[in-house]
């Protein structure tokens, strides 16, 4: 059956000038069209890859500039905080430091001091309004001067941290020894 169809097609091709011309022109057109489609596809793919690389480079450049600006801002903010801290440490300690410290600080079972009662849900702490305080267990002798410094650090961290929160989600003061 298949051979009969092919034989009939061959005989029609041999007889019809139109079919001969269409076959003679059709195969090259299909070949050229296939090559053109392949060329357009690979060219579009190459352009998309080039554009993606350009976008990635632009993003990295912008992100680098943004991070650099934030770092510079952090440096200048640190200088402001340090200046304020050093000036405040030179001032005489307020007389109610021991009372205020006793009202704000809680000693936990792990021998740390925090300004949040142990066992209370941490989500209840107003962390956007107040700084959290952590005094490690290695601090055993808690002098009135150290208590005053801890309260000062909490006050400054709450004040500056809240102002800087839009750029930095954490602001802290870490002290490894008692300040002068």
CB 146 within 8 A of CB 105: no
> How are beta strands 113-114 and 134-135 bridged, if at all?
antiparallel
Per-residue model confidence as pLDDT tens digits over 86-127? 898 888 888 888 898 888 888 899 988 888 888 888 788 887
Burial class of 114 by CB neighbour count within 10 A (0 to 12, 13 to 18, 19+): middle
Residue 142, pLDDT score = 74
Residue 68, pLDDT score = 92
Rounded distance between C-alpha atoms, residue 137 and residue 99, angstroms: 21
CB 149 within 8 A of CB 100: no
Residue 37, pLDDT score = 94
Residue 178, pLDDT score = 56
What letter would DSSP give residue 124? G
Query: Edge-to-edge strand order for the sheet containing 113-114?
Result: 106-107, 113-114, 134-135
Residue 143, pLDDT score = 82
Residue 61, pLDDT score = 96
C-alpha atoms less than 13 angstroms from C-alpha of 173 in its C-beta half-sphere? 27
Rounded distance between C-alpha atoms, residue 28 and residue 8, angstroms: 24
Burial 150-176 (b: 16+ CB within 10 A, else e): bbbbbebbbebbeebeeeeeebebeee
- Positions in the chain short of pLDDT 50: 180
The residues with which 134 forms a beta bridge, in sequence order, are 114
């Amino acid at each position: 059956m298949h051979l009969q169809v092919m034989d009939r097609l061959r005989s029609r091709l041999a007889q019809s000038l139109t079919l001969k011309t269409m076959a003679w022109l059709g195969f090259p057109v299909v070949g050229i069209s296939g090559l053109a489609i392949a060329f357009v596809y690979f060219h579009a793919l190459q352009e998309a890859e080039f554009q993606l690389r350009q976008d990635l480079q632009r993003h990295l450049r912008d992100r680098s500039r943004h991070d650099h600006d934030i770092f510079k801002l952090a440096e200048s903010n640190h200088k402001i905080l340090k200046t304020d801290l050093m000036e405040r440490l030179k001032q005489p300690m307020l007389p109610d430091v021991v009372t205020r410290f006793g009202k704000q600080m809680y000693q936990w079972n792990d021998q740390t001091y925090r300004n949040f009662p142990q066992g209370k849900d941490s989500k209840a702490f107003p962390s956007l309004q107040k700084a959290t305080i952590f005094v490690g267990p290695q601090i055993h002798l808690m002098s009135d001067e150290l208590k005053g410094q801890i309260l000062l650090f909490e006050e400054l961290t709450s004040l500056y941290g809240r102002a800087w929160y839009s750029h930095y989600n954490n602001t802290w003061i870490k002290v490894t020894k008692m300040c002068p």
